[in-house]
């Protein structure tokens, strides 16, 4: 089929015009874009720039760098402040812990000191109480009246009564009458009486004293606490009563020479 040459020529003519129009529109659009992109205080040099290119301001770039630098510096400052606050918080916590520990140690030491003082006070009180009790006992002992020593008459009645008290202490039986009747028969109440004629005298051991006791009998039945002499009235009576109790059950049972 034959091509339509008319239509093809028309197509080429339109294409050329379209290119020119498109180029103009592109230039105008680029210029408008450049104007809208540049701030109001920026200076443009569109007259010197080639067609289709946009010129940008160095001042805007500097401002951007400056703001970024400021932001980074601010972040560093904030980080430093946070680190400082953290360090201060840690130091404060350590200080509080140290203060609390010191207070605890001081409280324990104070408690121990109080306990020691209380123990010392208790001990001192106990010692003081013991001393006071001992002092009271000593005072009572000092104030306690001393029993007066019993006195006896220096005669037959006194000798018999003293002998009876000593016999009682040593559980030796006998009565006043039992002693008295035998004394009167043996010596008539003379503590220095001596028999120089009987068999005892012939054997070298005469009977002596209130109850006429020979030396061997006196020594064997001597009562502690009395004199070691046959002529002592009390010693003679207690020794004779002790012998009579051993042989006859009591001096009261003796009614003749023994």
Q: What is the pLDDT of residues 58-103, one digit of tens each?
A: 555 556 566 777 777 778 888 888 888 898 889 898 899 889 898 8
pLDDT at res. 151: 95
Q: Is 149 inside any structural domain?
A: no
The angle at the Cα of 189, spanning 184 to 191, to the nearest 5 degrees, equals 135
Are residues 131 and 79 part of one domain? Answer: yes
Are residues 206 and 227 part of one domain? Answer: yes
Q: Where a domain ends, among 56, 71, 89?
A: 56
pLDDT at res. 64: 57
Query: What band does 55 get if pLDDT is binned at 50, 70 and 90?
Result: low
Collect all residues with Cβ–Cβ distance below 8 Å to 136 and sequence separation of at least 6.
Answer: none
Q: Where a domain ends, among 79, 108, 142?
A: 142
Containing domain of residue 105, as a range? 58-142
Q: Is 148 inside any structural domain?
A: no
0.75 exceeded by pTM:
no
Q: Is 150 inside any structural domain?
A: no
pLDDT at res. 243: 97
The mean pLDDT value for 47-56 works out to 49
Determine the Cα–Cα distance for residues 70 and 59; give it in Å rounded to an integer.
16
Q: Where a domain ends, among 142, 167, 200?
A: 142
The better pLDDT of the pair 166, 144 is held by 166
Are residues 163 and 234 part of one domain? Answer: yes
**What counts of helices (H) and strands (E) characterise the chain?**
7, 2
The mean pLDDT value for 154-181 works out to 97
Are residues 121 and 64 part of one domain? Answer: yes
pLDDT at res. 47: 44
Are residues 248 and 160 part of one domain? Answer: yes
pLDDT at res. 185: 96
Q: Is 62 inside any structural domain?
A: yes
> How many domains is the chain built from?
3
The angle at the Cα of 68, spanning 66 to 71, to the nearest 5 degrees, equals 110
Residue 46 above 80 pLDDT? no
pLDDT at res. 145: 60
Are residues 235 and 164 part of one domain? Answer: yes
Q: Is 151 inside any structural domain?
A: no
pLDDT at res. 15: 55
| Percent of the chain whose predicted confidence (pLDDT) is above 70 | 71
Query: What band does 149 get if pLDDT is binned at 50, 70 and 90?
Result: confident
Are residues 245 and 166 part of one domain? Answer: yes
**Cβ(203)–Cβ(125) below 8 Å:** no
Are residues 27 and 88 part of one domain? Answer: no
Determine the Cα–Cα distance for residues 151 and 166; give it in Å rounded to an integer.
13
Task: Classify the phi-psi angles of 171: left when phi > 0, otherwise alpha if psi is within -120 to 50, otherwise beta.
Answer: left
Q: Is 109 inside any structural domain?
A: yes
Query: What band does 164 get if pLDDT is binned at 50, 70 and 90?
Result: very high
Q: How far is CA 230 from CA 53, 154, 175, 242, 255, in A?
A: 170, 17, 21, 14, 21
Are residues 26 and 65 part of one domain? Answer: no
User: What's the CATH code of the domain at 179?
Assistant: 1.10.530
Are residues 49 and 118 part of one domain? Answer: no
Q: What is the pLDDT of residues 19-39, one digit of tens each?
A: 554 555 454 455 444 444 444
Q: Is 147 inside any structural domain?
A: no
Q: What is the pLDDT of residues 3-18, one digit of tens each?
A: 444 444 444 445 555 5
Q: What is the pLDDT of residues 204-233, one digit of tens each?
A: 999 999 999 999 999 999 999 999 999 999
Determine the Cα–Cα distance for residues 166 and 156; give it in Å rounded to an integer.
16
Exposure class string for 19-32: b at 16+ Cβ within 10 A, else e: eeeeeeeeeeebbe
Are residues 210 and 180 part of one domain? Answer: yes
pLDDT at res. 234: 98
Are residues 169 and 138 part of one domain? Answer: no
């Amino acid at each position: 089929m034959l091509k339509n040459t008319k239509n093809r020529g028309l197509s080429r003519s339109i294409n050329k015009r379209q290119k020119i129009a498109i180029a103009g529109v592109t230039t105008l659009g680029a210029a408008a874009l450049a104007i809208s992109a540049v701030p109001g205080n920026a200076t443009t040099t569109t007259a010197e720039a080639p067609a289709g290119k946009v010129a940008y301001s160095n001042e805007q770039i500097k401002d951007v760098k400056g703001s970024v630098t400021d932001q980074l510096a601010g972040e560093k400052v904030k980080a430093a402040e946070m680190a400082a606050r953290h360090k201060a918080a840690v130091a404060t916590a350590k200080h509080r812990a140290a203060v609390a520990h010191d207070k605890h140690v001081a409280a324990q030491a104070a408690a121990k000191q109080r306990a020691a003082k209380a123990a010392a006070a208790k001990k001192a009180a106990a010692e003081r109480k013991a001393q006071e009790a001992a002092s009271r006992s000593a005072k009572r002992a000092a104030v306690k009246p001393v029993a007066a020593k019993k006195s006896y008459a220096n005669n037959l009645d006194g000798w018999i009564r003293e002998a009876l008290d000593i016999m009682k202490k040593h559980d030796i039986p006998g009565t006043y009458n039992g002693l008295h009747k035998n004394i009167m028969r043996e010596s008539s109440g003379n503590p220095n009486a001596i028999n120089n004629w009987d068999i005892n005298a012939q054997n070298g051991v005469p009977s002596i004293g209130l109850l006429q006791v020979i030396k061997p009998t006196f020594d064997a039945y001597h009562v502690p606490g009395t004199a070691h002499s046959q002529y002592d009235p009390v010693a003679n009576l207690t020794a004779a009563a002790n012998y009579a109790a051993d042989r006859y059950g009591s001096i009261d049972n003796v009614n003749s020479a023994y």
